[in-house]
């Protein structure tokens, strides 16, 4: 079983970062917002959407990923 650090990794500096846009329909966006708020409450860490997306992508790329 793979475990992950609970703390988000720092975002890259703006000068070297490559922006990516993810679009959601209004209902899906609301569900994501609620889930991220629950994640904040459970972990005590203030995750923002970009951090969550980056971490989910990192997790998906691990050898133990279910993808």
Kindly report, residue by residue over 1-53, the tens digit of the pLDDT: 445 555 667 777 778 888 889 999 999 999 999 999 999 999 898 888 888 99
pTM of the predicted model as reported, rounded to 2 decimal places: 0.68
pLDDT at residue 7, rounded to an integer: 65
Q: What DSSP assignment string belongs to 13-67?
A: PTTT---------HHHHHHHHHHHHHHHHHHS----HHHHHHHHHHHHTSTT---
pLDDT at residue 6, rounded to an integer: 58
């Amino acid at each position: 079983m793979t475990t992950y650090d609970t703390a988000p990794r720092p975002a890259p500096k703006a000068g070297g970062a490559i922006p990516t846009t993810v679009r959601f329909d209004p209902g899906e966006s609301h569900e994501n917002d609620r889930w991220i708020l629950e994640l904040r409450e459970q972990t005590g860490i203030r995750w923002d959407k970009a951090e969550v997306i980056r971490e989910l992508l990192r997790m998906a790329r691990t050898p133990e990923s279910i993808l």
